[in-house]
Amino acid sequence: MKRFVASSVAAWIAGVLLFAVTAVGALAQDSDTPQSTLDRVLERGFLVCGSSDDLPGFAQKNGEGRWVGFDVDFCRAIAAAVLGDADKVEFRSLPGEGRFAPLQTGDIDVMVRDAVWTMSRDTQYGVRFVATSFFDGLTFLVRSSLGFVSAYVLDNVTVCVADTGDDRRRTNEFFFENQATFREVVYESREDLAIAYQAGLCDAIAAPASVLQAIRRTLPDPAQHRIMPEFISKAPYGPAVRAGDDQWADIVAWVYFAIINAEELGVNQVNLESMQSSKTPAIRRLLGLEDNLGSELGLSNDWAAKAIAAVGNYREIFDRNFGPQTGASMVRGLNANWTTGGLLFAPPIL
């Protein structure tokens, strides 16, 4: 009898210890599970967006100290969709050499800047690109007085180019392929190009169109300088998020897709209220008037309507930052909607 009682007590103690170990292990496992980005943003009450380090047209502070630009507007769209307020966003300038680590560490929630989407960046740095917001590529800025209207007729010109990335290599390949002559003036970084060009050290600058647009806006008379319409390389830009958080990646991607779809469907800031009475199913789904698509993202059903109300559709964002009123308008080119011959295309909201 004593032996039976002793064995029963021992079994009971073993069971208690096993339960305790299991519970502690579960708690430890839960504590190791990273908080989702959406929960962190909601808890914090504002979005932290990593952006370019003062790139005119894309991201910079205006005279009143407010962040403005193409990339900035998309950050505000995300804040509006998630938090219902486009101003609930903190912008942080990210230098080119230190833009991915802040995503990995959770210091920023999303990166929206001129970072080219490549395979290595998408697979090696612990980040995930989710959409293409701007189709960029290497091209040329040329003085209008020279009469060049196409990159393919450039000949006997002096070209300033940075010895960075593929800029110099692709420039040399382009002139070789077209059997045209040129003289290169090489600089260490792209920051030197505008200074050299203004000083008359070259007839043209070879750089990504986004960089050339920023340079053109700083020139005394932007209208006297022309960006060639052809790209001689491809460089898709778009938002990136931390890898492993699929829900947040979906949210950021679909905010972009909603902005693109809004243009295609003719929905904008001006007619948004009247569109609430539209009978078109695609418009009603976009504005959250049909189905329950917001819940699948963890957002309210009118998340897209909030984003559009805050910044408008893609055309409105593009025109605001690159239109004639800027003094250095940019043609949309590849960034035109697919219905008008561009590459801009978004999956339907269904």
Q: Where are the alpha helices (DSSP H) in 162-245?
A: 167-177, 193-198, 209-218
Residues 197 and 160: beta-carbon distance below 8 Å: yes
Torsion of CA 205, 210, 213, 217, to 10 degrees: -120
| Residue 331 pLDDT | 87
Of the candidates 139, 98, 134, the one whose C-alpha atom is nearest the C-alpha of residue 116 is: 134
pLDDT, the chain, mean: 88
Mean pLDDT calculated for residue range 264-286:
97
| Residue 97 pLDDT | 59
Note the pTM of the prediction, 2 decimals.
0.85
Please spell the DSSP secondary structure of 51-110, one letter per residue.
Answer: E-SSBTTTBEE-TTS-EESHHHHHHHHHHHHHHS-TT-EEEEE--TTSSSHHHHHTS-SE
Of the listed ranges 41-45, 201-205, 322-326, the one predicted with least confidence: 322-326
Residue 32 has pLDDT above 70, yes or no: no
CA distance linking residue 151 with residue 246, whole number of Å: 41
- Sign of the torsion formed by the C-alpha atoms of 38, 39, 43 and 49: negative
CA 45 to chain CA centroid, nearest Å = 22
Each residue of 182-208: pLDDT tens digit? 999 999 988 899 999 999 999 999 999
Q: Which residue has the higher pLDDT, 190 or 109?
A: 109
Residue 268 has pLDDT above 70, yes or no: yes
| Residue 96 pLDDT | 63
Each residue of 117-175: pLDDT tens digit? 989 888 888 999 999 999 999 999 999 999 999 999 999 999 999 997 789 999 999 99
Of the listed ranges 30-39, 111-120, 227-236, 302-311, the one predicted with least confidence: 30-39
| Residue 10 pLDDT | 46
Neighbours of 84 (CB within 10 A): 15
Residues 99 and 50: beta-carbon distance below 8 Å: yes
| Residue 101 pLDDT | 87
Domains and CATH numbers, the chain: 37-135+236-340 (3.40.190.10), 138-233 (3.40.190.10)
